[in-house]
Amino acid sequence: MAQSYSARSRAIEPFHVMALLARANELQAQGHDVIHLEIGEPDFSTAAPIVQAGQAALAAGHTRYTAARGLPQLRSAISGFYGDRYDLDIDPERILITPGGSGALLLAASLLVDPGRHWLLADPGYPCNRHFLRLVEGAAQLVPVGPESRYQLTPNLVERYWDGDSVGALVASPANPTGTLLGRDELAGLSAALKAKGGHLVVDEIYHGLTYGVDAASVLEVDDDAFVLNSFSKYFGMTGWRLGWLVAPRDAVPELEKLAQNLYISAPSMAQHAALACFEPDTLAILEERRTEFARRRDYLLPALRELGFRIAVEPEGAFYLYADVSAFTQDAYAFCRHFIETEHVAFTPGLDFGRHLANQHVRFAYTQSLPRLEEAVQRIARGLKTWAALAG
């Protein structure tokens, strides 16, 4: 029967970590204490002021469709946020509210990619990016990147990998799974390289706000024609509310609005009303406290894993991930991850979920658990490395 399903569907690869997560949840249901370092979701609940705003919205009956571009007052609030945080004057008319950052990516891919054309993407990178391109009958041109470029695309790589089917590039800053940033000059260099090719620059800024010791530059500081994807899931802690936004050039907005009307009608109205509370001073104070806590976690886990023999060549400056080279231990990252779930009940993600370049030699740790839980995880990993070595020997 599966033969009747679309080639498009069959081409979409599953998350390898989901099988590991299913096993981890199975072990948890059996009474085992599983430490989850595999899923990119903050362990904090949505901040109370946001929840209260959502409850008030429900009580007030804000349960109907909104305009496809989203609530005007939320688009204005986001515009004000760009002014406060980046000193940018972004017209609210250029902002579209979407169902999660995924909705923003779907809009951008649908607008910019014709069948058979492609964007350049860093490998490793967030896997759904290439899958969305496949859904619109486009493709991802995966560009192998490593520590020498901080796992990011560069103008030289654009020049090297650009071909007749290329229409743009998608970069992420901070990036998943590596946590690395693109500085203002690097963003300007990519913008210039792509404009010289007649290509579009799309930047995933979903982890903005979650940076440590440095502020992330927005591409809009150097390229007003870029497309920006963002989300309320990470810094704002609203994962299950499914809310994001897209900033686009003014002339692209009518086409994007038409696509939004047809693809999803509108983002969830209750979530949009709740998100208005994100930009209140009391809420931002809570979110900044959480950012400080993530920094503490990174500053513990990074040296702890290095001491155990994990090679983390580039210190992440943002997001909440560590991308670790495990070639000192194995050439089969999936089996390595499986070992730690089964023996030590610690779950982390194999590199296979993030691309193809040296994927079997890497794993990703998400420091989305409390510091005591991370300390316990490190103890278990140290013990598990000994049993892994014994098995390999």
Q: Give the model confidence (pLDDT) of 159-209 as tens digits.
A: 999 999 999 999 999 999 999 999 999 999 999 999 999 999 999 999 999
For residue 91, the SS3 value is: coil
Q: From 223, 258, 279, give the residue that closes a domain.
A: 279
Answer yes or no: is 1 within a domain. Answer: no
Residues 203 and 275 in one domain: yes
Residue 233 tokens read as 């899931």
Express each pLDDT in 290-319 by its tens digit.
999 999 999 999 999 999 999 999 999 999
User: Residue 28's CB: how many other CB atoms inside 10 A?
Assistant: 14
Question: Alpha helices of 87-225 — where are they, by DSSP H?
Answer: 100-112, 127-135, 155-161, 184-197
Residues 203 and 115 in one domain: yes
Answer yes or no: is 218 within a domain. Answer: yes
Residues 225 and 341 in one domain: no
User: Residue 148's CB: how many other CB atoms inside 10 A?
Assistant: 9
Mean pLDDT of the chain: 96
Record the pTM: 0.96
> Which H helix or E strand runs over 363?
strand 362-366
The stretch 284-289 carries a mean pLDDT of 98
Residue 181: the pLDDT is 98
Answer yes or no: is 350 within a domain. Answer: yes
Q: From 254, 279, 304, give the residue that closes a domain.
A: 279
Whether the CB-CB separation of 167 and 199 falls below 8 Å is answered with yes
Give the percent of the chain with pLDDT over 90: 92
Q: Which domain holds residue 324?
A: 7-45+283-388
Answer yes or no: is 59 within a domain. Answer: no
Residues 145 and 270 in one domain: yes
Residues 120 and 203 in one domain: yes
Q: Which residue has the higher pLDDT, 381 or 22?
A: 381
Instruction: Specify the number of domains making up the chain.
Output: 2
Residues 353 and 319 in one domain: yes
Residues 124 and 186 in one domain: yes
Model confidence band, residue 30 (pLDDT cutoffs 50, 70, 90): very high
Residue 114: the pLDDT is 97
Residues 18 and 162 in one domain: no
Answer yes or no: is 53 within a domain. Answer: no
HEC assignment per residue over 237-257: CCHHHCCEEEECCHHHHHHHH
pLDDT at 43 over 60: yes
For residue 336, what is the domain's CATH number? 3.90.1150.10
Residues 107 and 217 in one domain: yes
Residue 18: the pLDDT is 81
Contacts of 24 (CB under 8 A, 6+ apart): 34, 36, 38, 341, 345, 347
Residue 358: the pLDDT is 97
Residue 307: the pLDDT is 98
Express each pLDDT in 242-259 by its tens digit.
999 999 999 999 999 999
pLDDT at 2 over 70: no
Model confidence band, residue 15 (pLDDT cutoffs 50, 70, 90): confident
DSSP-assigned letter for residue 318? B
Answer yes or no: is 344 within a domain. Answer: yes
Q: From 225, 251, 279, give the residue that closes a domain.
A: 279
The stretch 140-150 carries a mean pLDDT of 97
Contacts of 18 (CB under 8 A, 6+ apart): none
Residue 165: the pLDDT is 97
Residues 199 and 222 in one domain: yes
Model confidence band, residue 279 (pLDDT cutoffs 50, 70, 90): very high
Answer yes or no: is 122 within a domain. Answer: yes
Question: Alpha helices of 60-147 — where are they, by DSSP H?
Answer: 72-86, 100-112, 127-135
Residues 71 and 36 in one domain: no
Answer yes or no: is 260 within a domain. Answer: yes
Residue 21: the pLDDT is 84
The stretch 15-22 carries a mean pLDDT of 82
pLDDT at 330 over 60: yes
Residues 205 and 336 in one domain: no
For residue 208, what is the domain's CATH number? 3.40.640.10
